[in-house]
Structure 1
Amino acid sequence: MSIDSLWLLQVFFAALADLAFASALGALLLRVWLGRERAFASMSPARGGYRRASRTSSVSALVFIACIFASLWLQSAAMSGSPILDAGASLWLVATATHAGVGWAVACAGGVLLALASGTSGALGAGRVAAAVLGAIVAAAGKAAVGHAADAGAFSIAEGVQTLHLLATGVWGGVVIAGAAAVLPALDTSVARASLVRIVSRMSHAAAIAVALAIATGVFNAWRGTGGSADVLTGSGWGRALLLKSALIACALMLGALSRWSALPRLQRTASTTDAHTVINVMRVEAVLMVMVFVTASVLSHSVPGFAS
């Protein structure tokens, strides 16, 4: 692994793409749940939350597309050996004739589908939800094809597991980040308190399922990356990054457990402003940890796997 300006830019845009992808997924889920509350109606007390979810999903999908294009541009610079500003000359060739380039192009296509599905502020119909799900799967599959899972070959089990891992972490991180940063504060009023309680409950259930899938697929990826040897965890930069990511995930899990088993039940009993603030604040800290997890994951994906080093 060579740490230079190109590597740092690749890590930055990959991390930002992961954050944008997760935010788009989380905001779309929140839109679906708020749609069941009919929060899109002009007189709904939860309308502010629905509007924020709509904006977050649309903007996040557009940021994801921009980051994927930037990553493809940087990949062209890395493969051609040309300066970053001159990489456009080889962009088309890399995008169509290399496995990594095709993966970025597929991810970009998934992002476009996500953006189209979340492009308006009206209620999400079944067709648009289906398009969003398809876009998310395509985007995750494209990103899986440019990571370490691609070493096992196209359409391999490793790529399939990584696709599921990206979707699971996207849902988990997305509902936390989009909820804490944008949607839940707009529901933190007395008239919208019932909607807040129901939305947080749905977020907790969805996150629990996503966490289980993320951990299962993450363990598989970690085992594959170490080659079955624990020595690489402390003997390589990749291994130390993996340990840091695991520690951050453990902290996020503890906060999620605190919210699910303590703060949320108390809010459901009292529906008080104090307990609502507690739930949102705990989720904000968890959101910061999830941002750090995505950044660490980007470092891992751009580092030489432990078994190889």
Structure 2
Amino acid sequence: MLAWLAYVLASTEAMTGGDWETSSAMAADVWLVLTQSHFGRAQWVAGLGAALLCAGAWAWYDARRRLRAVMPIADDPRDRHHRREHLQERYARWVYAAGAVILALARASTGHAADASMPWLAIGIHTLHVAAAASWTGALLVAGCAIPGWRHWPVGARAAYGDRLSSVATLAMVVALVTGAFNAWRTLGENASLWFSAQNAPYLAWLVTKLVLVACAALLGAWNRWHFLPRLALDTGETPLDTSAFARVVAIEALVLVMVMSLAAKLGTTMPPGV
């Protein structure tokens, strides 16, 4: 939520010049942007998404905290005594997912997709692209935080987590690549020669750099999936299993994807070819 507020403030400064002598002048400009521009209307939607994200995350954490605070009952293997907590946990995931989709939609509607000839189709595809890219990056960032402490996990848990991580990252990567290809085709259109003109050199340079980094991330993910992940399946608990290589590749892939997201933000503020 704080990040969203900072983003709105920074965008307002860029749009209005930011020559504020008092806080009331700043607030007036922020309100003007939020009420009199397409960007501002999209930020109301983004604010709703951010609020749902926070609410879902807190509700999930609260349910998990209460479940950990009590011992399971022996004659209740299905844990019916804590049905309320399990329902809260389930609903929290739906609220969080809804917030993520709304936030992705708000981000997509303020990019180049809004200028397309069929804006709702372009915005819908770009929403999928943003959501997939965020899921890919987020899954790797969470894994980077979880893996250092997984030596204390039960036998088989590391292999299960690694397999799920790989599946989620692969699906997100495929969706991001397909929707990204559509975005490139929509931007390029039938004027391929425009991409290589001098005026479009900055956009092309940023795009090529982004694609190179995406390829690097995909190769790192494939390396982990086909080389290191099978080793996790050998985890029987009888001998210590060295997972440092798997963790390093995950960390590097996450770093590369953060760079990709930064370049995507730069592309969103760079004039595309043919405009």
Alignment TM class, shorter chain as reference = 0.7 to 0.9
Bigger mean CA offset, 79-88 vs 288-297: 79-88
Match of 2:15 among 79, 82, 98: 79
The answer on 1:301 being equivalent to 2:264 is no
Q: Which residue of 2 aligns with 1:122?
A: 63
Q: TM-score, normalised by structure 2?
A: 0.81
Q: Choose 1 or 2 for highest CA Rg.
A: 2
Q: Which has the higher contact order (CA 8 A, sep 6+)?
A: 1
**1:34 equivalent in structure 2:** none
Q: Tell me which residue corresponds to 1:174.
A: 138
* SS state at 1:69 partner: helix
Q: How many residues align?
A: 242
Kindly indicate whether the alpha-carbon contact (under 8 Å) linking 2:116 and 2:122 is maintained by their aligned counterparts in 1. yes
Identical counterparts, % of pairs: 30
- 1:283 partner amino acid: V
Shift of 1:193: 4.7
Stretch deviating more after TM superposition (227-236 or 85-94) = 227-236
User: Which structure 1 residue ranges, 5 or more long, are not aligned?
Assistant: 1-64
> C-alpha distance in 2, partners of 1:281/1:192?
21
Residues 73 and 88 in structure 1, CA contact (< 8 A), matched pair in contact too: no
How far did residue 194 of structure 1 move?
2.2
Distance 1:84-1:157 versus aligned 2 partners, 3 A rule? farther
Q: Which amino acid aligns with 1:226?
A: L
Change (3 A) 1:234 1:66: farther
The answer for the alignment partner of 2:216 in structure 1 is 251
Residue 204 of structure 2, aligned match among 229, 239, 245: 239
Measured in 2, the distance between the counterparts of 1:297 and 1:79 equals 20
Partner SS, residue 306 of structure 1: coil
Query: 251, 254, 257: which is aligned to 1:284?
Result: 251
Deviations 1:235-288 (A, max 9, x none): 421111000000000000000000111110122124665542221111011011
Over 4 Å off, 4+ runs: 270-274
* Contact 1:74–1:84, Cα closer than 8 Å, also in 2: no
Q: TM-score, normalised by structure 1?
A: 0.72
What residue is the counterpart of 2:229 in the other structure? 264
Structure 2 gap ranges (5+): 65-87
The answer to whether the 8 A contact 2:113-2:119 is kept is no
Cα distance in 2 for residues equivalent to 1:237 and 1:280? 35
Q: Deviations over 1:76-96 (max 9, x none)?
A: 223333426754321112112
Name the aligned partner's letter for residue 122 of structure 1. A
